[in-house]
Amino acid sequence: MAKSIRLRDRQAEQVEDLARKLSFEHNITIKESDIVHALVDKGLDDLTLEEIIITMQNLKKEKSGV
């Protein structure tokens, strides 16, 4: 069963900000939906920035076939 989440405005802004931060500071460019899925899988409140970066780097590696 696929997980889904309805983001409140504040959370949506945080995802957008996070996407920009990951792109500029960590050279990670992924769709915001991937970030949302990673956050939902882990739990929005329990995820640290370091865990998000690691998750996004892993997703990037998976998508590039590394």
Q: How does pLDDT run along the chain (66 residues), one tens digit per residue?
A: 344 445 555 666 777 777 777 777 777 677 766 776 776 666 655 666 677 777 777 777 777 775
| Overall number of domains in the chain | 1
Residue 64 lies in a domain: no
Could you tell me how far CA 47 lies from the centroid of its own chain?
10
The answer to whether residue 35 is domain-embedded is yes
Q: What is the pLDDT of residue 2?
A: 42
- pLDDT on residue 1: 36
| Structural domain contains residue 65 | no
CA 60 – CA 40 distance, rounded (Å): 18
Judged by DSSP in three states, 30 sits in coil
Domain of residue 15 covers 9-59
| pTM tops 0.85 | no
pLDDT at 19: 76
SS3 of residue 31 by DSSP: coil
The answer as to whether 30 is a domain residue is yes
**What is the reported pLDDT for 58?**
77
- Please work out, in degrees rounded to the nearest 5, the angle formed at the alpha carbon of residue 7 by the alpha carbons of 14 and 45: 65
